[in-house]
Structure 1
């Protein structure tokens, strides 16, 4: 909506590419992150959301469906003691890879610009900005994946 601030570039990381490289180079770390569920929590005055899920979600064929990663929402890990150490190593390796410039794009969005991306593949954030200089106001919108795919199928039938 507006972005006259100094800094505040939107950042995007290709999580799928990061996970494919991890699977290739560190298969045991990949396995741990796909097999073990960890707790995530978001709470404020109106919400108290608590979920356990693996960081890497695979389908029945071993294909990556999504990455569920948010270091700010991860709660205290409650894994079996014999797994905890190796899991932390895997998690730290993933964190380092997510910061790798090879997988990252930064964009300074102008008023009226829009970015569309798959929230299950692409991790997003922003760089720091000076809140005392200029206004920075963005608006987010999320579309459910199953609803999106349903709409594509019905449009395809209508246009065929």
Structure 2
């Protein structure tokens, strides 16, 4: 009813739960730092849907932050850091036994009006930086400034999803993660899928015309 589901290397839909021999940190019980999904894709997925099926384990709270707001805070505090984050492509890579998906893109993208419209942020999918050594130190400082904002409690909301609840968010804007949980105390299972921005926005326009 909303749009075509986006197929990725994780399938048309995916399950977030602990599994043996995981190929992604999401499939463990460890804390998952704030990130966007699949920044290594040429075009990362748009809207993400996460449906809580079970959440009986101790811990496992969901964590969210607005990456647009964080980027704008970096711009206000350090214009040069913002320029580096929006102008220098860095390597992103997902690599397992079946896939080796890579891309070079800036961490923050701005449009023709200098407004933030895309953020690619995932420490676990960033490959070794291969940027010129003349800017490496300055870029790391800019990256650390952005990361520090993702760890500021003032920029974060945290809550525990209940079975039956669903969150829907723009994957290229909203950072998401979770706190650690104890799988010995209960089962935690989320099911998810992606819908690209174009189809989602098209449906909203058509529904608006009917009101």
> What interval of TM-score do these two structures reach, taking the shorter chain for normalisation?
over 0.9
Q: For 1:1-160, list aligned pairs within 5 A.
A: 1-157=53-209, 159=210
Kindly state the Cα deviation for residue 128 of structure 1 after the two structures are TM-superposed. 0.3
Q: Distance in 1 between matches of 2:98 and 2:62?
A: 27
TM score, norm. by length of structure 1: 0.95
SS at match of 1:155: helix
Gapped regions of structure 1 (runs ≥ 5): none
Q: For residues 113-155 of structure 1, give each alpha carbon's deviation from its aligned partner in whole angstroms, at most 9, with x where no partner exists.
A: 1111111111001100011110000112211011211222233
- For the aligned residue pairs, the C-alpha RMSD in angstroms reads 1.1
Q: How many residues align?
A: 159
SS at match of 1:139: strand
Segment of structure 1 superposing worse, 65-74 or 144-153:
144-153
Bigger proportion of residues as strand: 2
Kindly state the Cα deviation for residue 33 of structure 1 after the two structures are TM-superposed. 0.3
Segment of structure 1 superposing worse, 54-63 or 145-154:
145-154
Q: For residues 94-119 of structure 1, give each alpha carbon's deviation from its aligned partner in whole angstroms, at most 9, with x where no partner exists.
A: 11111111110111011101111111
Q: Distance in 1 between matches of 2:169 and 2:120?
A: 15
Kindly state the Cα deviation for residue 44 of structure 1 after the two structures are TM-superposed. 1.7
Q: For residues 15-54 of structure 1, give each alpha carbon's deviation from its aligned partner in whole angstroms, at most 9, with x where no partner exists.
A: 1111111111111000000000000001222221101110
TM score, norm. by length of structure 2: 0.73
SS at match of 1:117: strand
